[in-house]
Chains A and B, each alone.
Chain A
Amino acid sequence: MFWRYPGKLDFFRMDDRLLLIQIGIIVGILSGMASVGLTWALGSILDFLRPLRHLWWAFLLPAAGAMCSSLFLEKIMNEGAGHGVPEVIYSVSRYGGLMRLRSCFTRLISSCLTIGSGGSAGPEAPVVMSGAAIGSNIGKFFNLNDRQRITLVGCGSAGAISAIFNAPLTGMIFALEVILGEWSMVNIIPIAVASVAGAETCRFFEGNRIVFESSPFNISSYDLLACLGLALMAAIASVLLTRMLRGMHHISGKVELPFWIRAALGGAAVGFLGFAVPDALGEGYHAIHAMIHGLYAAGMGLAAMACLAKIVATSLTLGWGGSGGIFAPCLVIGSFAGLAYQRMLVFAFPSVAWSGEGFFALLGMAGMMSGLLQAPLTGLFLILEITGSYDVMVPLIIVSAISTTITYYFEPVSFYLKELVDRGALLRPGTDQRVLSDISIREVIEKDCITVHPDMPLRDFIDAVKKSTRNYFPVEDAQTGKFLGMIYFDKIRPYIFNTFLYDTVFVEQIMDADPEVVYYDDDLSDVLHKMDLKKCFSLPVISNERFVGMVSKATLLDKYRDELKVQTAQIV
């Protein structure tokens, strides 16, 4: 079955990019199909439920959707809820991009139920997870190594974003900037090809459309100056959404109800909110269309209220157990923020010829995306591609850069990475934690130690010291072999030079009976932390109450350098 191991073929051994490009095309096409499928399914559910939306009990629709979604994920598929991008980043950072097969479709179905019923969430993150899982599982099928599999995960993510927004450049940048967190030559080409494959798949089924096509804007220097204020507003909205999402998650976690009832409560609250602000429901793209074309009639107050309502609705949907992503809500919130800001400018400076509301709406989207994801390039290129407004490049750069900077001040880590960073699970390539995580204690253990027994007189111990090349000696029970303690040569110098003590002092009296120990399954980062705390250079390794060897900083550093060379060579 040589075809299951294409990486071993001589042709691909020299440079595996050709292999990754070929497989990347397949991954891109499949991700594109997942995206097309999700778009079609969402449209069908929305059409099916549309006649019910005006009924008094319509607020129950998002509740039922969120409940079914959480039950599907937890009871049928046995998978934790959430929007999934952190899970993709986690698998890339810690497990070479390994993902479960079920992840190829679970989030697609669950997000369909949540969003189709009116929950405030986006379909992009679920389709990213699906694309990434497709890439990962194809990598598994072809028995590719970790680095190649990670590239395919990037290909799947790129293909998914590229297909759902018909934005190949954004897909590629999103995969490199957000998912992989590294820009290396070996990754860029396969990911770019997969991104194009995803976009072409979408165009084949849905036609080549620009998602939020806009007319050209007349941009004056006043508009450019106004960008500074809009960037601040987008940053505030980003911080608010991030904190409210996390806050809702904590609150729902404290409610002692079954998870599906919690999801239903969140959905029902969104349904109620939808009565007052209908634009807060669903993905909300129709509102963006209206704003970009200058057809959204609401004034400053209503636009600001819609912006807040969308933030609350998204937090309720995702924080209480619904399934979906934050891409679409981000765009909607950003565009509402932009619209409210434009209305405020017109109110405050009526004599200035401000650019249209569409201009500020799309700047708001870019600012919001850049701030929340801490990914200015993704935000920038996404808006350029989905609106086709390349004439707003300069203001977009200003808003994206400033919004990212301001948000960073309040939330130094992006929404996707926050949870991973908090629990120390984010290991980006080439970092200290990542290098240490790839080394095990078994690889650095030193076994050339001479063991001594507690009833050994100091004279015999001196003989053992003479034979040893080490300055530490584990003490073991002579009968059982049980580890009893350590003797560090540095600490017993006073006894060594006093010959009167040679026959009166025993090992048991001079040993450290409670030394810090480590075990085979300990992380080396923890081991180093213990060494730093105890200010020692080596620690004994214990297994089944027996001494098995020592782990030292010197050996660890040697291995660390070897591992770093391997990892950085892969990046180059």
Chain B
Amino acid sequence: METTLFHVFRNTPRGREILMQSLFFCKITGASILIYIPEHTKFLMYFENDVVQVDLDKSYLTDPDTAKKHAEELAEQAGIYPRFLHPKNFTASTLPDIPVNFDFMCCPRSITSLSSKISLGHIGPKVRRIINAAKFPVLIPAPQFKEWQNLTVFFGGSANSVKALKLGLHLSRVTGKPLDIFTQTGRKTKKYFEDILTDNKLDTEVEENVRQWYFFKKGDFKHNLYNVPHDALAVLGAYGHGLVKDVMFGNTMEIIQKTLPNTLLVAGPHYVIPPG
């Protein structure tokens, strides 16, 4: 099935590096890329049951005259034909509406004005809201460009992690890259997780396609994360907890992205697995 990745381009060295990661993702998965070069520092995304206003920092408007040329050059080097998004609808004159009918979206750690926190590995509030509201998974690139050679799915048994596993298996099929599963069992037994796979009719597929299933009954979650291959695309499901719950009880997604230097692909609670 044809898929499209949406990328908000920033014409800075870091922005170009992030675009390279998007292009690599497209190249490996066969997706096309839709690039948006912002003309305003904010835009709206109308999802099914939420509207998210994304406030960009001013670096996104850097040197607009060369932005398209730079993006095209990078795409050409990757062998990808880029398409550029020109918003047709505006909620206000400086507030374009960006469509949400694509299959992936690339978001740096933060696309809010908190640009100083990018390098600190902070997932900005807007990125969280996009993940929570979107029907598509969000690609959060690694701090530095790195070609990923395999996939690791974080499987904790929840409905969202089942979705993430299905996404991981799909990408593994499409890319031909090996797939690993990472599970921190806690008090649960391996049979508990196997039963979930059986209930979701994934047992055979997992058995045939998964290279290794990392099971950790003991040990600190953060410490165990170091077993994830450094060149893996980490695929995980996000629960979509509210801010209060996240602050009170912590957030697995936040722990993973803070600890792992890898590129992440996060499927939110509204992610819809494409048919086939």
Contact = CB atoms under 8 A, between A and B. Distances in A.
A564 to B, nearest CB: 21
Contact of A544 (B42, B80, B101): B80
A266 interface: no
Interface stretch (A87-95, A274-282, A496-504): A87-95
B49 A521 contact: no
Interface in B69-98: 80-81, 83, 85, 88-95, 97
Given A80-B91, A87-B91, A425-B89, A140 B34 contact: no
Contacts of A98: 46, 49-51
A543 B32 contact: yes
B53 interface: yes
Given A100-B53, A440-B101, A521-B102, A82 B92 contact: yes
B85 to A, nearest CB: 7
B32 A80 contact: no
Contact of B51 (A95, A440, A523): A95
B93 A80 contact: yes
A94 to B, nearest CB: 7
Given A94-B89, A521-B85, A544-B81, A80 B94 contact: yes
B273 to A, nearest CB: 15
B101 A520 contact: yes
A148 to B, nearest CB: 11
A520 B88 CA distance: 15
A387 interface: no
B112 to A, nearest CB: 10
Contact of A140 (B26, B49, B90): B49
A53 interface: no
A140 B270 CA distance: 14
A520 B2 contact: yes
B92 A79 contact: yes
A175 interface: no
Majority SS of interface residues in chain A? loop
Interface residues of B, number: 32
A521 B4 contact: yes
A363 to B, nearest CB: 36
A261 interface: no
Interface in A86-129: 87, 90-91, 94-95, 98-100, 102
Interface string B187-223: 0000000000000000000000000000000000000
B242 to A, nearest CB: 11
A530 interface: no
A138 to B, nearest CB: 12
B73 to A, nearest CB: 17
A89 to B, nearest CB: 11
A519 interface: yes
B250 interface: no
A548 interface: yes
Contacts of B55: 78
B51 A100 contact: yes
A545 B51 contact: no
A523 B87 CA distance: 12
A567 interface: no
B4 A543 contact: yes
B90 A548 contact: no
A521 B51 contact: no
Interface in B216-250: none
Q: Most chain-B CB neighbours within 10 Å: which of A102, A521, A543, A544? A: A544
B99 interface: yes
A521 B94 contact: no
Nearest to A90: B91
Interface in B27-52: 30-34, 42, 44, 46, 49-51
A531 to B, nearest CB: 19
Contact of B42 (A78, A95, A548): A78
Contacts of A552: none
A546 interface: yes
B42 to A, nearest CB: 6
A82 B90 CA distance: 14
Contact of A521 (B81, B95, B99): B99
Given A98-B51, A100-B53, A521-B99, A544 B91 contact: no
A423 interface: yes
Nearest to A440: B101
Contacts of B51: 91, 95, 98-100
A544 B55 CA distance: 29
Interface string A135-173: 000001001000000000000000000000000000000
A80 B49 contact: no
Contact of B53 (A78, A94, A143): A78
A81 B92 CA distance: 8
A87 B53 CA distance: 15
A262 B4 CA distance: 42
Interface string A70-85: 0000000011111000
Contacts of A543: 2, 4, 32
Given A78-B55, A543-B4, A544-B2, A519 B83 contact: yes
Contacts of A94: 46, 89
Q: Most chain-A CB neighbours within 10 Å: which of B88, B91, B102? A: B91
Nearest to B51: A98
A140 B93 CA distance: 25
Given A78-B55, A79-B95, 6 more contacts: A90-B91, A99-B51, A100-B53, A442-B101, A523-B88, A546-B2
Please list the 9 inter-chain residue pairs (A to B) with the smallest Cβ-Cβ separation, ordered nearest first: A80-B92, A544-B32, A545-B81, A95-B46, A98-B51, A543-B2, A548-B2, A543-B32, A80-B95
Interface of B: 2, 4, 26, 30-34, 42, 44, 46, 49-51, 53, 55, 80-81, 83, 85, 88-95, 97, 99, 101-102
Interface of A: 78-82, 87, 90-91, 94-95, 98-100, 102, 140, 143, 423, 425, 440, 442, 519-521, 523, 543-546, 548
6 contacts: A80-B94, A91-B91, A100-B53, A425-B89, A440-B101, A521-B99
